[in-house]
Structure 1
Amino acid sequence: MSSRKLTWREYFVVASLLFGLFFGAGNLIFPLHLGQLAGGHWEPAALGFLVTGVLLPLLSVMAIAVTRAEGVFDVGRPLGVGFALTFMVLIHATIGPLFGTPRTATVSFTVGVAPFVPAQYQQVALFVFSLVFFGLAFAFSYHENNILANVGKVLNPMFLALLFLMFLVAFLMPMGNPLSAPATAAYTHGALTNGFLEGYNTMDALAGLAFGVTVVTAVRQMGQRRSRDVSKVVAKAGVLAMSGVGLIYLLLIVAGAMSLGHFKLSADGGVAFTQIVHYYGGAFGQAALAVLITVTCLTTAVGLVAAFAQDFHKHFPKVSYHMWLFLTTLASFVVANFGLEQIIAWSTPMLMFLYPLSMVLILLSVCSNFFQRDGRVYFFVVLFTVVPALGDMVVAFPKVVSASAFGQTIAAWRAALPLANMGLSWVVPALVGLVIGLAWHYAKPMRQLAVEPARLDPKE
């Protein structure tokens, strides 16, 4: 059962797979907007963002490797089938038709089409664009056609080349000094924490849980038989891939901070990206980058709708793959027409709930060998995490919910928890749950040891 040694080329193949899994055109907008929000405090904000936007996604794939999971369902399996199924549905719904998949269309539209359409026709243009966009996504996924993926292999490197060209020009001719750029009130004193929370928007940790099995399977097909060897390969290739992702994030954050020397704080990163590209590349550069972003986002959308349909058909086989595909594509089209700003506003509360839950499950899975993946440890940690995370979710809702009597009641209760003012009210309760779970886990062997001498063979 020994594993063969991989070549550097094979490590690069795994790294490329990881990079493709975690970096899409949608990941451009959040670090860019973070740079504008943080201004001169971009350094601690970037550090927090890299934890949830780079380190945590890598750990999510490691969790799949360590537990030999075949998908997100298996990650929640120690807590029972009911929890595992609910967790899987929430993850796929979030990175799928509720938020993640619609965002692929709205980012493409905001960056590529909206600048060329008069304001009064924006909504109609979004409707037509998203209809065509998801029609193509459905068609490619329905026939399981690899044409778009093959096109993406050519256009994605071109997209990255143009992106780095933009970075080069931006740093040679900066709009302003990032160290002296004004910061919003939230980032003046809480840049690290807010950067950490902003990283939730990438949804990459959730994506790692849902699609990490693709990477792990590829590694095993390369002759890595033992779980320990699979984890080592994922870790080494992951450092290479995520270093690239992290570098792009850092450059985007700095570019966002520098843009404040010429532009005001934008409503979202899509608008900021459009402004910066047009400033340096004019209409032609903006059009060229828009085409590449649209193809990149379409490739991502095809993968998301297909993965959603495949996983749901696997667990709910009475509904066919093609019907699940139609339902997720239709739902994504409907949600996309609310616009990028609304999608981000309503996705934030769900991520405030799901990310803490995902984080503790990822860390428990990575460390599961230390407590034999005991369900009792999982139970107490998740129980003590889920309650405050629900409070964080309610408080993060738009004012129509958070400012209601119900929202105010939850906010008052949540305020009593440690770190609540930082959006991390779940951290201390989760640690308490971990202590209780581990104490119960290690107490059982001690009780068995206490009665064991009475059962020993006298000859011993």
Structure 2
Amino acid sequence: MNTNKLTFRNALLIGSLIFGMLFGAGNLIFPVHLGQMAGAHWLSAAGGFLMSGVLLPLMALLAISITRSNGIYDLARPNGAWYALIFLILVHATLGPLFATPRTATVSYAIGIAPHLSASANTWGILIYSAAFFGLTYYFSTREGRITDTIGKMLNPLFLGLMFIIFFMAFISPMGHAGSAAITAAYRHASFTNGFLQGYNTMDCLAALAFGITVITAIKGLGIKRQRDISWATAKGGALGIFGIALIYIALIWLGATSLAHFKMADNGGTTLEQIANYYLGTAGDAILAVLATTTCMTSAMGLVVAFSQDFHRRFPKISYKAFLRFNCGLSFLVANLGLDQIIAWSTPILMFLYPLAITLIIMGIMSPLFKNDPLVYRITTGFTLIPAFFDMMNATPAILHNTAAVQAMISFAAKFFPFFSLGFGWLSFGIAGLALGLIIHFAKERMASPAISED
């Protein structure tokens, strides 16, 4: 079988693809807002944010490489076919038409268009903008075989050039000193853990799992055929792409902290970005930010809808790839018109439930050669993680649910019996205990099954 070797140029192209698909709506607004909330503690908060926003997505790509999976379903399959299918649907619904994909349009509109329109005009503005946004997303995504060229060669360089202008102006003339910026109460003593939880909002860990099949398809399109070479290309390209994201995260968090010298704490990072761009570049800054936001969010939207359609077409082959594309883009258009605040409010509890399941799945995938991918280890670990993750989800629900008697009773119970629940990590000790128990049982079974050594 003829196969090409991974060249550094191809690794850069794969890294650019991964960068373009992962870096989108949340990657712009959440780091800046984190910087404002953390203030002088921006560096420790950035450490937590990088753990969940950079390290976990890289680990997800490595887990896919090590297990030779084609995506979420294959990685979760040791837990059983039904669990894998349900997990696939939940992740893609979150990344797809319910939360992340609509958010790509609402964020780019909120920071690039909305500030220049009246409140009454914004109702029609978001309708027209989101229709054009998802129309273009659908058009580009139907060119499935050209996604590497479209994202890697056209849109990424434009985005990076626009981002560099804002960073350069900020670095040569900072608005203030990040080390003396005000610190909000939540970040005075728990900046690292709160930064880690803020990283959930980027959804990049889930996205990296979902993009596995897209990345592998692109790698095969470069002529790399052997499974070992595909795994190596995924790992190397992923490291390059995610390292670029990490550098931009640090710069955005720092920008948010320094902005407190001139601007009050904003409700979201989109407002802060618009203020920063206007501060340095005036009207030109507003125009640059509008193009930047639309560019980066559209690359992310393309990656999301392609991964959604590829995975579901693979599971339900009677429905065409383009039919799934139309469904995703159409429903995303409708949800986007509900507004950014509603999307963020309802996505947070879902992420608090899904992320622990994804984290434990990724860790087990990486460790799978150690226990020979034994399904028992997966099932015990997942079972131990599932219940406390549900309680973490209920603790993060919007006020309309959070303040009900039933939810308050659940929160009181979890706060009493689940370690680290108040920090948002009620699942952590249970997940570790489940993994340890699963490994002990696996090695005990292996030892009992091995033939006894006869004594001569």
TM-score by length of 2: 0.93
2:159 is matched with which residue? Answer: 159
Mapped contact 1:140–1:148 kept (Cα < 8 A): no
1:132 is matched with which residue? Answer: 132
2:336 is matched with which residue? Answer: 336
Write the letter of the residue equivalent to 1:419.
Answer: F
Question: Residues 399-414 of structure 1: matches in 2 within 5 Å?
Answer: 399-414=399-414
In structure 2, runs of 5+ residues without a counterpart are none
Mapped contact 1:97–1:329 kept (Cα < 8 A): yes
Is 2:426 the counterpart of 1:425? yes
- Closer, same or farther: CA 441–145 of 1 in aligned 2, 3 Å: closer
- Closer, same or farther: CA 50–343 of 1 in aligned 2, 3 Å: same
Moved more, 134-143 or 13-22: 134-143
- Closer, same or farther: CA 342–259 of 1 in aligned 2, 3 Å: same
Q: Give the CA RMSD over aligned residues.
A: 2.5
Give the share of equivalent positions with the same residue, in percent.
Answer: 49
2:200 is matched with which residue? Answer: 200
- Closer, same or farther: CA 322–217 of 1 in aligned 2, 3 Å: closer
1:438 is matched with which residue? Answer: 439
Write the letter of the residue equivalent to 1:310.
Answer: Q
- Closer, same or farther: CA 10–144 of 1 in aligned 2, 3 Å: closer
Describe the superposition over 1:262-282 as per-residue Cα deviations: whole angstroms up to 9, x where unpaired: 111111111111111111111
Is 2:304 the counterpart of 1:304? yes
CA distance in 2, matches of 1:216, 1:372: 23
Deviation of 1:144 after TM superposition, in Å, equals 5.3
- Closer, same or farther: CA 123–38 of 1 in aligned 2, 3 Å: same
Moved more, 236-245 or 107-116: 236-245
CA distance in 1, matches of 2:400, 2:149: 41
Deviation of 1:218 after TM superposition, in Å, equals 4.5
Mapped contact 2:14–2:215 kept (Cα < 8 A): yes
CA distance in 2, matches of 1:34, 1:166: 18
Write the letter of the residue equivalent to 2:447.
Answer: M
Deviation of 1:13 after TM superposition, in Å, equals 2.5
Question: Residues 354-369 of structure 1: matches in 2 within 5 Å?
Answer: 354-369=354-369
Is 2:116 the counterpart of 1:111? no
- Closer, same or farther: CA 333–226 of 1 in aligned 2, 3 Å: closer
Aligned length: 454
Q: What secondary structure sits across from 1:347 in the alignment?
A: helix
Q: What secondary structure sits across from 2:284 in the alignment?
A: helix
Q: What secondary structure sits across from 1:371 in the alignment?
A: coil
1:182 is matched with which residue? Answer: 182
Deviation of 1:226 after TM superposition, in Å, equals 5.2
In structure 1, runs of 5+ residues without a counterpart are none
Deviation of 1:318 after TM superposition, in Å, equals 4.0
Mapped contact 1:60–1:205 kept (Cα < 8 A): yes
CA distance in 2, matches of 1:2, 1:435: 43
Q: What secondary structure sits across from 1:275 in the alignment?
A: helix
1:326 is matched with which residue? Answer: 326
Describe the superposition over 1:330-359 as per-residue Cα deviations: whole angstroms up to 9, x where unpaired: 221121112112211111111101111000
- Closer, same or farther: CA 214–143 of 1 in aligned 2, 3 Å: closer
Deviation of 1:117 after TM superposition, in Å, equals 0.3
Mapped contact 1:152–1:295 kept (Cα < 8 A): no
Question: Residues 385-404 of structure 1: matches in 2 within 5 Å?
Answer: 385-404=385-404
